[in-house]
Amino acid sequence: MRVLVVDATRTASLDHAEEVVHARSAASAVAALEDAQARGAPFDEVWLDHDLEDGDDAGAVVRALERWAWQGEPLPLRTALVHAANPVGAQRLRAGLGALVPTHPATPRQLRGIGGHPTNPVCERRDLGEPDPTAR
C-alpha cells in the first residue's frame, strides 16, 4: 500500500503502508499525485493536514482531486484521511472531500502513526472505494 502524507510538520510511521511519501506543501502533494498516476503506481491513501508550509493549505490538493474527478479521470485512491488540528480548515477539507466520498470516523489505530489524537473531532476518514479490512 502506498500512502501520501500531506503535513508540514509531522512525519508518519504507518505499519500498514509499504511506502509513505511526505509532502510539506500543496504543490508538492499535487505533483506527487500526478507523478504517481503517470508512473502507473497511484497512491492508495492520502492523509491531509490543513495548515502547510508558508501559509499554504491542503485545499489545493482537494481541489485537484475534485478537478480530476470532474474531468472523468478520478485518481484510484481508496482512502483520504483528514488529521488537521485546525477545525475550520478541517471542515473545509471535509466539505471538499464530501463531494467525492462518504464520511467515516478515523480509527485510533489509523491516527497513532501520524500523531493524531483519537478523540480529536476533526480527525476523519473518507473511503474512496472498498474499505480496508486491516484498518481497524
Residues written for the chain: 136
Short-list 94, 106, 93, CA closest to 14: 106
> Mean pLDDT of all residues in the chain?
77
- In the prediction, which pLDDT does 15 show? 75
- In the prediction, which pLDDT does 12 show? 77
- In the prediction, which pLDDT does 110 show? 60
C-alpha cell at 52: 502547510
Give the domain extent around 123. 2-127
Question: Do the domain assignments include residue 66?
Answer: yes
C-alpha cell at 37: 498516476
Question: Do the domain assignments include residue 80?
Answer: yes
Question: Do the domain assignments include residue 136?
Answer: no
d(CA 128, CA 117): 23
Residue numbers of the chain with a pLDDT score lower than 70:
99, 101-136
Q: Please report, for the domain that includes residue 19, its CATH number.
A: 3.40.50
Question: Do the domain assignments include residue 132?
Answer: no
Q: What is the pTM of this model?
A: 0.76
- The kind and range of the H/E element at 23 are strand 19-23
